[in-house]
Structure 1
């Protein structure tokens, strides 16, 4: 595989905050795009089954009226991702972010190196 790198996110958003969350995703893309991200995908839970042992609702401790959201950011490589994260932490403007339309304490995220990509498979 190439040097691509992905950050994945799972969170629960109050259904009533869908419009605010959508607006926030556009702002997020501007911030990440300026720092080298190749793309961002934000997905709103539509067909999210409840499992017997684990599921997106349990993972995010979602309560009634909250919808799981799933997103990812594509980066050209991990170094660009790490540099962007550091730049955002060092940017004083990032400290004055408006309140998020979800409980960020229940958001999960992680970085991933791809091991298969159908777009580049031969």
Structure 2
């Protein structure tokens, strides 16, 4: 069963090109360890809510854009086996592929796919 891992982050708007480069390099690594598909989305219509919202969740500042991305895995077991290898992969070492955003405000989670239409 497909397993989805989702991510939301606030990226300095001026770092859009660096973010895309980072995402391309990360996608190579994730796919090398079994990911089926990676999707990266740059915020275009992401309002700040009164109680909750994407910008509030990642404490987005006025000069930042919210990004939403996800990785599709063949199963949770494949994801669970891959993640320690991905985190140890030298291609994702911050000295080689620095994150162009504050990773402390990144939110993520794994989800069982329920419905695809």
TM-score higher than 0.5: yes
Q: Distance in 2 between matches of 1:111 and 1:4?
A: 11
Q: 68, 86, 93: which one pairs with 1:96?
A: 93
Higher Rg:
1
Q: For 1:30-52, what per-residue CA distance to the aligned partner results, in whole angstroms no more than 9, with x for missing partners?
A: 00110110000000000111211
Q: What are structure 2's unaligned runs of at least 5 residues?
A: none
Q: Distance in 2 between matches of 1:26 and 1:102?
A: 15
Q: What are structure 1's unaligned runs of at least 5 residues?
A: none
Q: Distance in 2 between matches of 1:46 and 1:95?
A: 27
Q: For 1:58-112, what per-residue CA distance to the aligned partner results, in whole angstroms no more than 9, with x for missing partners?
A: 1000111000000000000001101110212344x25733321000000000000
Partner of 2:16: 18
Partner of 1:85: 83
Q: Give the alignment's Cα RMSD to 1 decimal.
A: 1.3
- Relative to the length of structure 2, the TM-score reads 0.92
Q: Distance in 2 between matches of 1:102 and 1:90?
A: 20
Q: Distance in 2 between matches of 1:67 and 1:12?
A: 5
